[in-house]
Amino acid sequence: MTLGFGLIGTGFMGKTHALAMGSVKAVMGDVPDVRLALLCDTPMAQAEARAAQFGFARATSDWRALVTDPEVDIVSITTPNGLHREMALAALAAGKHVWCEKPMALTLQDAREMAEAAERAGTVTLTGYNYIHNPAFLHAQRLIEGGRIGRPVHFRGWVDEDYQADPDLPWTWRATLADAGLGALGDLGCHLVSFAVGLMGPIESLIADTQVIHETRPLPDGSGLAAVENEDTATALLRFASGAQGSLSASRSAWGRKNRLDFEVHGTKGMIAFAQERMNELQLYVNEGPRSEQGFRTILTAPDHPPFGAFVPAPGHQLGFRDLKVLEARVLLQAIAGGAAPYPAFRDALVFEEVIHGIAQSAREERRVRFA
Amino acid sequence: MTLGFGLIGTGFMGKTHALAMGSVKAVMGDVPDVRLALLCDTPMAQAEARAAQFGFARATSDWRALVTDPEVDIVSITTPNGLHREMALAALAAGKHVWCEKPMALTLQDAREMAEAAERAGTVTLTGYNYIHNPAFLHAQRLIEGGRIGRPVHFRGWVDEDYQADPDLPWTWRATLADAGLGALGDLGCHLVSFAVGLMGPIESLIADTQVIHETRPLPDGSGLAAVENEDTATALLRFASGAQGSLSASRSAWGRKNRLDFEVHGTKGMIAFAQERMNELQLYVNEGPRSEQGFRTILTAPDHPPFGAFVPAPGHQLGFRDLKVLEARVLLQAIAGGAAPYPAFRDALVFEEVIHGIAQSAREERRVRFA
Amino acid sequence: MTLGFGLIGTGFMGKTHALAMGSVKAVMGDVPDVRLALLCDTPMAQAEARAAQFGFARATSDWRALVTDPEVDIVSITTPNGLHREMALAALAAGKHVWCEKPMALTLQDAREMAEAAERAGTVTLTGYNYIHNPAFLHAQRLIEGGRIGRPVHFRGWVDEDYQADPDLPWTWRATLADAGLGALGDLGCHLVSFAVGLMGPIESLIADTQVIHETRPLPDGSGLAAVENEDTATALLRFASGAQGSLSASRSAWGRKNRLDFEVHGTKGMIAFAQERMNELQLYVNEGPRSEQGFRTILTAPDHPPFGAFVPAPGHQLGFRDLKVLEARVLLQAIAGGAAPYPAFRDALVFEEVIHGIAQSAREERRVRFA
Amino acid sequence: MTLGFGLIGTGFMGKTHALAMGSVKAVMGDVPDVRLALLCDTPMAQAEARAAQFGFARATSDWRALVTDPEVDIVSITTPNGLHREMALAALAAGKHVWCEKPMALTLQDAREMAEAAERAGTVTLTGYNYIHNPAFLHAQRLIEGGRIGRPVHFRGWVDEDYQADPDLPWTWRATLADAGLGALGDLGCHLVSFAVGLMGPIESLIADTQVIHETRPLPDGSGLAAVENEDTATALLRFASGAQGSLSASRSAWGRKNRLDFEVHGTKGMIAFAQERMNELQLYVNEGPRSEQGFRTILTAPDHPPFGAFVPAPGHQLGFRDLKVLEARVLLQAIAGGAAPYPAFRDALVFEEVIHGIAQSAREERRVRFA
């Protein structure tokens, strides 16, 4: 089986998708062949340049042509979030498999529509929660499932960057509800929710607070100040369906944090902690053996933590960010080839988006928000 | 001036008070002389043994005799929290200066009564919030006050230990509201509140959630299970009077954490972070200089961070826990000698205790709690 | 320009070469196109399977056919070290560019012969010192060259793994001088030498000591013990041509170290330190600003550290091991396309190999070894 | 039993001795009472001020009077190293127990004379190697002795500070062989030797190199430059009597290092590592359990690591530098009271000083130096 790959968007994530699809078979072996069939960007000159660099057979500046192109089996959507819905619906309507970056959409309503369309289409969908494919994260899940830290009773998570920390940064569309939707929650918070749910199971309810730190920003043309409409930080108190509790906090204005995405899971027999900026390490504490020798151990990911070994057969030789995208691409391809259901498909990612919108709602309405 | 010191209780904190009072003049120089006058413990044999070891002139098993003893100017109260109120009121009534461990009392009402009695007595009071006397903490305060990280806009704090993490630990009085009062909040949370207020100013309101992880514990005599009445964890969303937001979280059931008491303060120009288990280090990130050289710097406390140099004139030669108590004793003695007002006196510590009780109340009543 | 790539060997390094050549154009953009032309492994079935997985056009089990194949412009040699010399000489004789893994050969004599053949051939050669292409390392070099830490006066380096730490590990050919040559020095030490020379300039002389920790190992067939002939550890005291001093130490029997390859450079104004197991971080201390704020800062590599941004345009999104190989492939391709001389070409890598053989010689002869 | 304590010198170390003797009974309990009898400093006014602050009964400006004072049983010598010999010989001749800071003397000959005098006197001597009394270090020793990391086969150690790193620092007597003796080796290196010997046993021989980084320094009066005669750095390759090998390195010009005193011991089953700047932590790696869970564990010192609990009965509440001196004082007092032989007595410390002088000699004479 050879699958034709069509890519819409060639920025940060678009390039990452292209690189992943271009190497996943070579790295992992256990997936169908992929043909880089068609790349879409605007203007056409840029599309052609990117297609040449990334190794695509053809280029287009018309995404509608791409989603219906007969040589395209998989459509990657890596455009600004406000465009996801329309593109995904069109691709699904054309019977394509869809790989869509997170968050799915600006509004929960749009995301729901996408999930419903995916169910109707019956094709394979996957959303871009790459961090949960990290062998370190998978190992944390295995440890918890295996009872290594007992019953998981408490969760804490943080996701922080500093790209909106500077008070002098000019105003952009990113500050608007209409064009950007949520702030830190949409950009960052949803990744943390994917961790929380992946480690602790469904969230039953939450109470939250959000904060706009920089209430206005200077307009780029120097004509004055414009309002920042979406949150710089968000923090939520979580109750999980399991009875466990926890919290999560997100900030896009946290100086010094470049890609913080950290968690700790407290269990009745031990604790697991992880920090994305050291993504090849896992911290484990277990209450066993002499107390004088107990301590958090720093586990370096290795071939002992599959599927690490597909990249490097030696421990301590790190994986990087684009390796996570290769693992994500593999999930998609294996699902298309008839393997396990992809996770998180649109219906799964909808749960994450319900949570981030629930956090915003709880803060806005000052009340507990419950999930079905 | 020579001040007579009377100590009630010789456990963990009692010994620490004795050691601090026995060395504060030698270490710091800038305080009155202290005479270790009278030590109280029960039974009398133990009081006498401890007095001999710690270097006290006399011993007693009657705390009422101690608080009225004419040779005693300062009374230290390091007994179980349920006894603080009665002892403090008696000592204040006798015109003594009072050094009392935290939390002040089991209930907020008792703490208020103590603060009022202190106002009436007009003597010097101090509560045992030793961590805020750490040169690293004082330096963090100076950096913030000096604008080094801009306007402080967000706070996060955690205080965790694992002394109640083991599900098989027998039930004790510590699990009861009547004898122990609050759980993790009283033991640990109040320290974290002293950090939050010390770095960010007054808390305006909060929403919180608490959790009993181990709902019952085995009775020591094997006769069955008894209920745990107070919280294992507590987490609160904070709003500060300054407009800043933040959160704090406390757990006494966090495996692997031995004395975690960590904070991070997000500012508009930088960030400061601290971890008590590495109490001689401060993390500072400032948005200045070439971006390619920016990073969190690990500052080792040193004579450049007064009053560190009184202990060791060389950087990198660490302070320990009992050094913090020496610094706390110094605050008390200097206030008695007519120096700056002690902090936190009973009236100051009452604020911290209002917060921890407010957290418990918010969780119980599921609503936002506001402070005057 | 499209260059035909031929790969000999498909193990750990072979796969890494294939992945790098398969993605370097897509990642970096600034290199010629590469066609994965021919792959060689044995037996033929394995060569065909690997060619299919890695995306090579053809497969062969005859390396001599590969090095003379008209569609092959670049030959990668990733076979066991004892085979490098013969293959490299044949490829160079056929006028091919050669990418060869380190160490170049089992003996210094063989490595010299290879370097001389490369000079005669006039084609481009590159050896597999991937760690010096890390943006963190390149930034360290730039900082030093720019005088950021003053005059570099002292170097320390360590390279440790634990693949030979277990006393019960069976004996293999790796323990023999005839088949493996040097021990820890050949496998690991040469990487560290590439750091030392890259940061401090040429080494003038050294004194060293080596150690065989496990003098015998059990034969796999259970028939007894066989001798370990090459070193488990090696440590050398270095004098650089610049007048600086330093040391380096290598071990293949250091439990817990998975890919330690660390250095620190002491300068007259500051210090730089690096640890490969955290390859996206650089530690920098500079004696500037208030002493109370000085500390080692942890710099996370980012687009501010070119060419990081070609992989990820966001800071804190890490590079991994195979990204280093992409950067190495780029050096080779740019040199072939007429860009800067590749480093380290055979003649450059010969210097590193002279040092590791010099360390072995110094230990053996118990005397200082000097380099031209 | 009450022992009279006499202190000569009230600088960094003098104050530390006073604080230790003033609190050791209160902290540990298991030692004789100590009376702070007599303090010596110059001029007399300073001696009196320090005696008042530290709690000594009397003061003198005449050290000869102190060493023969009938109320003095123990003499602490904390004066500049060049004065140790004369004072120690006088105190020993007067039948006193002697607590002397390290290094013992400027020359090995002087140190030998002191050790011989101590043997003749038959009183108790102790040298100021406080770091080996750290519960973390003692635990490392216990782990090694108990076989926890198998046979110790390799040692690495580093001791670094930056007090001579600044090229612009004025010249002082510390730069002279006559007044200061060794440089980094005497100030710092001897501590590291106490670690090496304490963990690995006797050193059989070594080869070393030393370096003067700043060959001249400006005279304080601005009249020109004067030569630096003693080493800024020293590095040695060690062979232990056990057959193990290793290395140690010392620098007084290592920017950013404030009190680095780190070691790692490689064993056949695991590794132990320690860093003095985090003196309440010990790193342990053991090859046991599933490989996927192996990692260095960070052990926080606690009451499980005696005698930690005498200071604080709770884990994670750190010890500081002056606590190490209390533990050192305890060793002295228990020996005087008839307990175990003190370590390191003069005869034991002589071994450390032989090593540092051996390192200087090896570097000077460019040859291997062997020890009896």
At D1, the pLDDT band (50, 70, 90 cuts) reads confident
**Would you state the pLDDT for residue A1?**
81
Tell me, yes or no, if D300 comes closer than 8 A to chain A by beta carbon: yes
Nearest CA in chain A to C56: A26
Which of B235, B285, B286 has its CB closest to that of A247?
B235
Average confidence score pLDDT of chain C: 97
Instruction: Assess whether the previous peptide bond of C43 is cis (omega < 30° from 0).
Output: yes
DSSP letters, D150-216, are -SEEEEEEEEE--TT--TTPPP-GGG-HHHH-SSHIIIIIHHHHHHHHHHH--EEEEEEEEE-SS-E
Measured between beta carbons, which residues in chain A are less than 8 angstroms from residue D293? Answer: 143, 148, 284, 297, 299
Tell me, yes or no, if B298 comes closer than 8 A to chain C by beta carbon: yes
Tell me, yes or no, if B127 comes closer than 8 A to chain A by beta carbon: no
What SS3 class is residue C200? Answer: helix
CATH number at residue B101: 3.40.50.720
> Taking every pair of C-alpha atoms in chain B, what is the biggest distance, in angstroms?
67
Q: Does the pLDDT value for residue A283 go beyond 90?
A: yes
Q: How far is CA B104 from CA B44, B191, B231, C207, in A?
A: 26, 12, 18, 65
Which of A16, A26, A54 has its CB closest to that of C18?
A26
Q: Does the pLDDT value for residue D372 go beyond 90?
A: no
CATH number at residue A281: 3.30.360.10
Residues B181-202 have pLDDT tens digits of: 999 999 999 999 999 999 999 9
- In this prediction, residues C55-76 reach a mean pLDDT of 98
Tell me, yes or no, if D149 comes closer than 8 A to chain A by beta carbon: no
User: Per the CB < 8 Å rule, is C315 touching A25?
Assistant: no
Measured between beta carbons, which residues in chain A are less than 8 angstroms from residue C55? Answer: 25-26
Helices D135-145 and D190-200: crossing angle, nearest 10°? 30
**Would you state the pLDDT for residue D38?**
98
What is the number of other CB atoms lying within 10 angstroms of the CB of residue D151? 15
Backbone dihedral angles phi then psi of residue A169, each to the nearest 5 degrees: -60, 135
User: Per the CB < 8 Å rule, is A299 touching D293?
Assistant: yes
- In this prediction, residues C5-23 reach a mean pLDDT of 98
Which of B290, B296, B299 has its CB closest to that of C293?
B299
Q: Does the pLDDT value for residue A372 go beyond 90?
A: no
Element (H, E) at B350: helix B346-365
What was the ipTM of the complex prediction? 0.96
A interface test, pick of B209, B265, B365 with most A CB neighbours within 10 Å: B209
Tell me, yes or no, if A226 comes closer than 8 A to chain C by beta carbon: no
Instruction: Assess whether the previous peptide bond of A307 is cis (omega < 30° from 0).
Output: yes
At D2, the pLDDT band (50, 70, 90 cuts) reads very high
Same domain, C229 and C314: yes
Which of D282, D297, D302 has its CB closest to that of A297?
D297
Of D85, D104, D123, the domain-final residue: D123
Alpha helices in B126-189 (DSSP H): 135-145, 177-180, 184
User: Per the CB < 8 Å rule, is A166 touching B287?
Assistant: yes
Residues C340-360 have pLDDT tens digits of: 899 999 999 999 999 999 999
- Cα gap D345→D332, rounded to integer Å: 9
Same domain, B208 and B87: no
Displacement of CA B39 from its chain's centroid (Å): 22
**Would you state the pLDDT for residue A339?**
86
Same domain, A145 and A99: no
B interface test, pick of C294, C305, C308 with most B CB neighbours within 10 Å: C294
* Chains in contact with A, where contact requires at least 3 CB pairs less than 8 Å apart: B, C, D
Give me the domain span that covers residue C41: 2-123
Same domain, D172 and D72: no
- Distance to chain D for B349, nearest Cα, Å: 22
Yes or no: say if D131 and D125 are a contact pair by the CB < 8 Å rule.
no
- Pairing between β-strand A260-267 and β-strand A152-160 as defined by DSSP bridges: antiparallel
Average confidence score pLDDT of chain D: 97
Residue with tokens 């066991």: C80
- Distance to chain A for B197, nearest Cα, Å: 19
Structural domain total, chain D = 2
- Cα gap A93→A120, rounded to integer Å: 9
Residue with tokens 């394979």: A124
**Would you state the pLDDT for residue B339?**
86
Displacement of CA C360 from its chain's centroid (Å): 19
At C213, the pLDDT band (50, 70, 90 cuts) reads very high
Measured between beta carbons, which residues in chain B are less than 8 angstroms from residue A366? Answer: 368
User: Per the CB < 8 Å rule, is D316 touching B23?
Assistant: no
Same domain, C270 and C186: yes
Same domain, D136 and D116: no
Low-confidence residues in chain B, pLDDT < 70: none
Tell me, yes or no, if C295 comes closer than 8 A to chain D by beta carbon: yes
DSSP strands (E only) in chain A = 2-8, 33-40, 58-60, 74-77, 97-100, 125-127, 152-160, 203-211, 216-218, 225-227, 233-240, 245-251, 260-267, 270-275, 281-286, 296-300, 369-370
Same domain, C96 and C150: no
User: Per the CB < 8 Å rule, is D154 touching C239?
Assistant: no
- Cα gap B105→B181, rounded to integer Å: 8
Same domain, C183 and C44: no
User: Per the CB < 8 Å rule, is B153 touching A253?
Assistant: yes
Measured between beta carbons, which residues in chain A are less than 8 angstroms from residue B156? Answer: 158, 249
Same domain, D94 and D173: no
At D332, the pLDDT band (50, 70, 90 cuts) reads very high
User: Per the CB < 8 Å rule, is A207 touching B211?
Assistant: no
Beta bridge partners, B240, equal B203
Same domain, D76 and D157: no
Tell me, yes or no, if D297 comes closer than 8 A to chain A by beta carbon: yes
At C1, the pLDDT band (50, 70, 90 cuts) reads confident
- Distance to chain C for B283, nearest Cα, Å: 9
User: Per the CB < 8 Å rule, is C298 touching B295?
Assistant: yes
**Would you state the pLDDT for residue C360?**
98
Of B69, B102, B123, the domain-final residue: B123
Yes or no: say if B333 and B3 are a contact pair by the CB < 8 Å rule.
yes
- In this prediction, residues C10-30 reach a mean pLDDT of 97
Q: Does the pLDDT value for residue D249 go beyond 90?
A: yes
pTM recorded for the entire structure: 0.97
Same domain, D294 and D324: yes
Q: Using CB atoms and an 8 Å cut-off, which of residues 234-293 of chain D contact chain B?
A: 257-260, 276-280
Of B72, B97, B123, the domain-final residue: B123
B interface test, pick of A228, A231, A245 with most B CB neighbours within 10 Å: A245
Same domain, C17 and C82: yes
